[in-house]
């Protein structure tokens, strides 16, 4: 049985929860209090962060690595593209999400007003740039829901919570976000603390 050590408000943990629910498999979620972390977390993950996935002797951390492992272990429904070229492209997108969007999450949660404002602006601008894509297609890679949608969903859910307002031209992105939020796995994967992040 897989056990996911997950932060109840952590966007990276939410990604892993979404994948577990999309796969509809047997798993256990252990909630970690981020302000009072259990001692064994630092033993499992040298960075002392969630999420951490434990399955028998295997211990994994870093949400994208965890999610690719789950996808390989339980191929249905497949969330990473089967084609090597498309899969490499998807990994590049995931890498860009981390470096252009998610690297600012820490600042939004713990920064001072000046750095928080800058982080908000960077995220808003980066999301506005990708918005037009969704005027033509349902999901990041086209018509099929994939790991890219999983990766970005927790950030889109938290926009209001982080005080990020998207401009009018980002309307296709807002519609896309609603599509993600209405998926049963997205709803099931949410913690009570995440549910109250949006009105």
Distance CA 88, CA 80 (A): 10
Distance CA 11, CA 114 (A): 22
Q: What are the structure tokens assigned to 154, written together?
A: 């927790």
Residues that are catalytic: 10
Cα–Cα distance, 79 to 19 (Å, whole number): 8
| Distance, CA of 156 to CA of 14 (rounded, Å) | 12
Cα separation, 120 vs 159, in Å, equals: 9
Does the N-terminal peptide bond of residue 20 adopt cis geometry, omega within 30 degrees of 0? no
């Amino acid at each position: 049985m897989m056990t996911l050590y997950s932060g109840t408000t952590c966007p990276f943990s939410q990604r892993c929860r979404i994948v577990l629910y999309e796969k509809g498999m047997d798993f256990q979620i252990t909630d970690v209090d981020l302000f009072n972390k259990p001692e064994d977390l630092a033993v499992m993950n040298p960075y002392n962060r969630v999420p951490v996935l434990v399955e028998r002797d295997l211990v994994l951390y870093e949400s994208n690595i965890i999610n690719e492992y789950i996808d390989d272990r339980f191929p249905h429904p497949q969330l990473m593209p089967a084609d090597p070229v498309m899969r490499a492209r998807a990994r590049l997108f995931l890498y860009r999400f981390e470096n252009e969007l998610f690297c600012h999450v820490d600042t939004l949660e713990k920064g001072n007003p000046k750095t928080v404002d800058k982080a908000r602006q960077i995220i808003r601008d980066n999301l506005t740039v990708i918005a037009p894509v969704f005027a033509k297609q349902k999901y990041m890679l086209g018509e099929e829901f994939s790991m890219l949608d999983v990766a970005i969903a927790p950030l889109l859910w938290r926009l209001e919570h982080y005080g990020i307002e998207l401009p009018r031209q980002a309307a296709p992105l807002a519609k896309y976000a609603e599509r993600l939020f209405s998926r049963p796995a997205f709803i099931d994967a949410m913690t009570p603390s995440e549910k109250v992040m949006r009105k």
